[in-house]
Structure 1
């Protein structure tokens, strides 16, 4: 596993399941290093270039394959040996790729990314086997496999006249991300939620047991606190009924906690 970080791509598995992709990677890297002709028929590559190619190919082989082809020193001979061993995978991959293409449905995937990844994988496998899927085929496959509940969206996307498959996927990805954002915003705060009311500046704490029993006493002329003045307009009386508008009191909230009632009121100076 520590050696994996030094590799340019995945090594050729001894079963040959990744042979077709491995061949493409090898050819690309050899051409980039001016070593492509070392695996051509009747090439005139130098011994130094052939040695570099052998080092690169063997570094991307399974350990079992290295041991089996240990005595091979020519890159062209090694290339032919691997082709004779694993080239039969091509007729095996093509029928499976055709089957996956036939039953590919965008409605069967949880996200657009998963669908697009499977689409590109099938297209690559068929291309390696000598068959190609056109962009029009990919567009029609996507449009025709929308879920029935998204029929209106399917018609809208089709009317936009996409000519490239990647353009359609880009639009679908943006729509999917916007939909996820709307759902997160909706779940974080419900539609009917309202902010908490502000607490009044003035609050009085009254014993819960005496709140109801002493109402009558207070109504009969008992005076409390600093409002115990001579003027009638400066007295505060609690009654069992809703106070009048000109009494200068506005009851806003009553909270009971541990045997007490908290009464929040706002005071207005009486004229």
Structure 2
């Protein structure tokens, strides 16, 4: 395990506004230092490892929070206390963001997947894990209502995981993009052919008009 070096992450504000970002940063630091299990299992790690994990967490708390939680000597307990305190405040907001997420509002499948993954991960940090059924239904129920036939097609495919549906949607999107590009190419080609044909006709006409009848 490497020696801990303080990193330039923001400290956790007492308001909890940056709790989710703080939790992600702390998780990354502890994992890098080989200490992530210390906040998952109560009895995991040596005393030195637990001390190091606490040092990391205390370093990224503001002064008021450090004073409030200075008596907690278990990194797991400190993590649990902070999570319980701030997720109760943030959870309603996170749930609202999840409920407002709509597949039809995004310009591409990749953009939607990024937003969905972010929302799902945030809910996990708040202690709520979405099921595969919920992830699938979110796509089906928030697709463009004008694409009812398409929605029924997706449902009839019998997808059991969101990743399978995401892969299918991505492939369809790529195929449609290729078709659009080919259609555009063919349209340009036809237009060029028409221009060449008109040019040839014009030359023939000019030639005929220039003939002298004797």
Q: Could you state the TM-score of these two structures normalised by the residue count of structure 1?
A: 0.54
CA–CA separation in structure 1 for the residues paired with 2:182 and 2:115: 31
1:38, 1:75 within 8 Å by CA — same for their partners in 2? no
Identify the structure with the greater strand proportion: 1
CA separation of 1:36/1:184 partners in 2, compared to 1, >3 Å: closer, same or farther? closer
Task: List runs of 5+ in structure 2 lacking aligned partners.
Answer: none
How far 1:90 sits from its partner (Å)? 0.7
CA–CA separation in structure 2 for the residues paired with 1:73 and 1:149: 57
Map of 1:196-207 to 2, 5 A cutoff?
196=196
CA–CA separation in structure 2 for the residues paired with 1:8 and 1:262: 85
Q: Specify which structure has the bigger relative contact order, considering alpha-carbon pairs within 8 angstroms and separated by 6 or more residues.
A: 2
2:140, 2:151 within 8 Å by CA — same for their partners in 1? yes
CA–CA separation in structure 1 for the residues paired with 2:98 and 2:157: 25
CA RMSD of aligned residues (A): 4.5
The corresponding residue for 1:50 is: 51
How far 1:162 sits from its partner (Å)? 0.7
DSSP 3-state at the match of 2:187: coil
2:54, 2:75 within 8 Å by CA — same for their partners in 1? no
Identify the structure with the greater helix proportion: 2
CA–CA separation in structure 2 for the residues paired with 1:58 and 1:262: 94
1:27, 1:36 within 8 Å by CA — same for their partners in 2? yes
CA separation of 1:160/1:103 partners in 2, compared to 1, >3 Å: closer, same or farther? same
Matched, 1:193 2:195: no
1:12, 1:19 within 8 Å by CA — same for their partners in 2? no
